[in-house]
Amino acid sequence: MRFDIQNQLSIAQSFTGSATVSTHAYEKQTAEQDISIGRRMALMCIVTTAAGAGSTHTMEVIQAADAALTSGVVVLGTVTALAAALTKGTVFEIPIPQGVMTKKYIGFRNTSTGGTTTVSLDVYLVPQDEIPKYKSFPKAVDAAV
């Protein structure tokens, strides 16, 4: 599986306190297009900086009518985790049910409560069946020839 700018919602983004949305949103061709039909989709989240002690994080895959993820927001899936489970390098997924996409933009939202509420994440929209096969490789630099 290859990651590119289109399915990348957050890279080492710091999520702090109240509801914070991903830096980027995945833009479908139309609001009616449902990319979950035929192949299950999920958000793959990778912890880049461990969560602050004593916090609880509610992580959601959301859809919205705008790229800023602020208009007509609908939650498609939710995972709740305690800070102790969000250690650096941990990979987890938020499944997206099939047949529920009705807005043009797909994104991620984290809401933190209690304790030190910061966590940093990489978040990608990926086919769910490819998550167990995920393997991180050192960054490659392409040389111009």
Question: Per residue in 118-138, pLDDT tens?
Answer: 899 999 999 888 777 655 655
Instruction: Look at phi and psi of residue 100 and say left if phi exceeds 0, alpha if psi is from -120 to 50, else beta.
Output: alpha
Predicted confidence (pLDDT) at residue 64 exceeds the cutoff of 90: yes
77 contacts 96 by C-beta, under 8 angstroms: yes
Domain span including residue 66:
8-132
- Token output for 61: 């895959």
In a domain, 33, yes or no: yes
In a domain, 66, yes or no: yes
Instruction: Give the Cα separation of 36 and 10 in Å (integer).
Output: 20
Instruction: Give the Cα separation of 36 and 50 in Å (integer).
Output: 30
> Model's pTM, two decimal places?
0.84
Instruction: Give the Cα separation of 95 and 38 in Å (integer).
Output: 14
In a domain, 143, yes or no: no
Q: How many domains does the chain have?
A: 1
Predicted confidence (pLDDT) at residue 5 exceeds the cutoff of 80: no
**pLDDT tens digits for range 80-96:** 999 999 999 999 899 99
121 contacts 47 by C-beta, under 8 angstroms: yes
Q: Per this entry, what is the length of the chain?
A: 145
In a domain, 34, yes or no: yes
In a domain, 93, yes or no: yes
Q: Work out the pLDDT band at 1, boundaries 50, 70, 90.
A: very low
Instruction: Give the Cα separation of 50 and 7 in Å (integer).
Output: 23
Q: Work out the pLDDT band at 52, boundaries 50, 70, 90.
A: confident
Predicted confidence (pLDDT) at residue 3 exceeds the cutoff of 60: no
